[in-house]
Structure 1
Amino acid sequence: MLVKVLHNNNCSKSRAILEYLDENGVPFEIIDMINDPLSPLELKTILKKLNQSIFSIVRTHDKLYLENYSSKQYTDEEWLDILSKNPSLIQRPIIIKGPVAMLGRPIENVKYFIDK
Structure 2
Amino acid sequence: MIKIYHNPRCSKSREGLAILQESGQDFQIVKYLNQPLREEEIKDLLKALGCDPIDLVRTNEKIWKEEFKGKELSKDQIIKAMHDNPKLIQRPIVMQKDKAIIARPPEKIKEFL
- The two structures have a TM-score, normalised by structure 2, of 0.95
Instruction: Tell me, in whole angstroms, the C-alpha distance in 2 between the residues paired with 1:81 and 1:72.
Output: 14
Unaligned runs of 5+ in 2: none
Instruction: Tell me, in whole angstroms, the C-alpha distance in 1 between the residues paired with 2:92 and 2:83.
Output: 16
What whole-Å deviation, never above 9, does each CA across 1:33-82 have from its counterpart, x for those lacking one?
10010011110011000000000000011111111110211111111111
Instruction: Tell me, in whole angstroms, the C-alpha distance in 2 between the residues paired with 1:96 and 1:84.
Output: 18
Q: Which amino acid aligns with 1:19?
A: A
- Which residue in 2 is equivalent to 1:84? 83
Instruction: Tell me, in whole angstroms, the C-alpha distance in 1 between the residues paired with 2:92 and 2:107.
Output: 14
Q: Which amino acid aligns with 2:96?
A: K
Q: Secondary structure at the match of 1:29?
A: strand
Q: Which moved more, 1:32-41 or 1:65-74?
A: 65-74
> Size of the alignment, in residue pairs?
113
Q: Is 1:14 aligned with 2:13?
A: yes
- Which residue in 1 is equivalent to 2:40? 41
1:108 Cα deviation (Å)? 2.4
- Which residue in 2 is equivalent to 1:4? 3
1:10 Cα deviation (Å)? 1.3
1:113 Cα deviation (Å)? 0.3
Instruction: Tell me, in whole angstroms, the C-alpha distance in 2 between the residues paired with 1:21 and 1:42.
Output: 22
1:85 Cα deviation (Å)? 0.7
Instruction: Tell me, in whole angstroms, the C-alpha distance in 2 between the residues paired with 1:107 and 1:60.
Output: 19
Instruction: Tell me, in whole angstroms, the C-alpha distance in 2 between the residues paired with 1:65 and 1:81.
Output: 12
Q: Which amino acid aligns with 1:62?
A: E
1:24 Cα deviation (Å)? 2.2
1:106 Cα deviation (Å)? 1.3
CA RMSD of aligned residues (A): 0.9
- The two structures have a TM-score, normalised by structure 1, of 0.93
Instruction: Tell me, in whole angstroms, the C-alpha distance in 1 between the residues paired with 2:106 and 2:58.
Output: 18
